[in-house]
Amino acid sequence: MIKGFVFDLDGVITDTARFHYQAWAKIAQDDLGITINPSVNEQLKGVSRMDSLNIILKFGHRENDFTQEQKEVFATKKNDYYVALISHMTPADILPGMKEFLDELRAENYGMSLASASKNAPRILAGLGLTTYFDKIVDPASLRHGKPDPEIFAKGAALLNIKPSEAVGLEDAFAGIQSINGAGEFSVGIGDPKILHEADLNFNCTAEVSLAKIKAAYADQND
């Protein structure tokens, strides 16, 4: 039986990828002399701040040009810029259908936790007016491994005191679906089914997410 839902944030509840991209593009251009493009951005989804910087440096063939201290400075600068961009977020930035979905889950008393790699997640939830919906938030600083490792989604279920088999994970990134599956949870992909083909159930976009369909697919798999 489903007892709880573990959510990714970026790309599932709100679209912050464009702000990450804007912030990284500026740092890459101004400080690293690297011009990034949308295909690089795709690789940054679900990836931690420092790992994102390493991907950009590799893309620009500059992976050996900076010390760890310099990289910390770039990452902090990117974050300062990113935080300024997300400071204007409001409930209007919730992706279509997700507020209604969260309300439905709350009405049915499901546990809800957040499994985002973003250290800014609490700030973003506050801007969206969604803080009270989440019983628990996984602290990404407490993790040894990022997605696709199962650790973050396993923790998301453990914090709700439910078994992985009782949890549904929602993700827009392939690495996230791998994390959910590795944790032994029911995976729901939101986005291109070709990219998210390992998900137990897929919706093309947030507006299509349906609790009834999730329950039916979960029941099919578990009877």
Residues annotated catalytic, as ranges: 8, 10
Give the number of residues in contact with ligand G6P, rule: CB under 6 A.
Answer: 15
Q: Looking at residues 6 to 35 of the shown chain, list those that interact with Mg ion (rule: CB under 5 A).
A: 8, 10-11
Of 166 and 172, nearer to Mg ion (C-beta) is 172
Distance CA 94, CA 7 (A): 14
Phi and psi (nearest 5°) for 109? 60, 30
Which of 2, 6, 7, 10 touches ligand G6P (CB under 6 A)?
10
172 forms part of the interface with Mg ion (CB under 5 A): yes
Q: Are 152 and 179 in contact (CB under 8 A)?
A: yes
Q: With b meaning 16 or more CB within 10 Å and e meaning fewer, what string describes 193-203?
A: eeebeebbbbb
Which of 5, 6, 27, 52 touches ligand G6P (CB under 6 A)?
52
Of 21 and 101, nearer to ligand G6P (C-beta) is 21
Cα dist. 58→33, 34, 70, 90, 198 in Å?
13, 10, 15, 35, 28
Distance CA 115, CA 106 (A): 18
213 forms part of the interface with ligand G6P (CB under 6 A): no
Q: Is 122 exposed, middle or buried, given 0-12, 13-18 or 19+ CB atoms closer than 10 A?
A: middle
Counting every residue, how long is the chain? 223
DSSP string spanning 181-197? HHHT-EEEEES-TTTTT
Of 10 and 166, nearer to ligand G6P (C-beta) is 10
151 forms part of the interface with ligand G6P (CB under 6 A): no
Q: Looking at residues 55 to 114 of the shown chain, list those that interact with ligand G6P (rule: CB under 6 A).
A: 79
Piece in contact with ligand G6P (CB under 6 A), picked from 46-54, 55-63, 128-136, 192-200? 46-54
Distance CA 139, CA 109 (A): 23
14 forms part of the interface with ligand G6P (CB under 6 A): no
Task: Select from ligand G6P, Mg ion, none the partner in contact with residue 117, using the beta carbon and a kind-dependent cut-off of 5 to 8 Å.
Answer: ligand G6P
> Site residues (CB under 5 A) for Mg ion?
8, 10-11, 172-173
Residues forming contacts to ligand G6P in the complex (CB under 6 A) are 10, 20, 44-49, 52, 79, 116-120
